[in-house]
Amino acid sequence: MKRKLINKKNIFLFFFILFLFLIHQNLFSKKNKDIKFVVEHHMTKKFTNIKNKLYAINNLNIIFSDGQTSVVQVKGLSKKAPHSSISYKIFLEKNKNHSWKVKRLYKIK
């Protein structure tokens, strides 16, 4: 009896976590359709972008966009102290879900 109860709890917990994950993915994929959100998230919050992370974005300019590819210039404060001003040029592409994805990132000197 006790074993069935544990199994039911585990199954319920698994489906609950799966449900939360799917909701999170759905909301995040909707936000990725906004180019400004993608650039800000990639430059300030993304875990895999440790080397080029910014503390804050001061200026964001779209240099080129044809609907499928875009080039964005970002100026901001570096994450590392003394928080010097730094600029990047970011190349983005739209995928089949119409979400923007960062393809390349170049530091502007």
| Strands across the sheet containing 85-94 | 54-65, 69-78, 85-94, 100-108
Same domain, 49 and 99: yes
Same domain, 64 and 80: yes
Counted domains in the chain? 2
Same domain, 40 and 6: no
Instruction: Domain of residue 1: give its range.
Output: 1-31
- Rounded to whole angstroms, the Cα distance separating 93 from 108 reads 20
Tens-binned pLDDT, residue by residue, of the chain (109 aa): 556 667 888 888 999 999 898 888 777 777 778 899 999 999 998 877 778 889 999 999 999 999 899 999 999 999 888 889 999 999 999 998 888 999 999 999 7
pTM of the predicted structure, to 2 decimals: 0.73
- Rounded to whole angstroms, the Cα distance separating 89 from 74 reads 6
In this predicted structure, what is the pLDDT of residue 3? 62
Whether the Cβ atoms of residue 88 and residue 108 lie closer than 8 Å to each other: yes
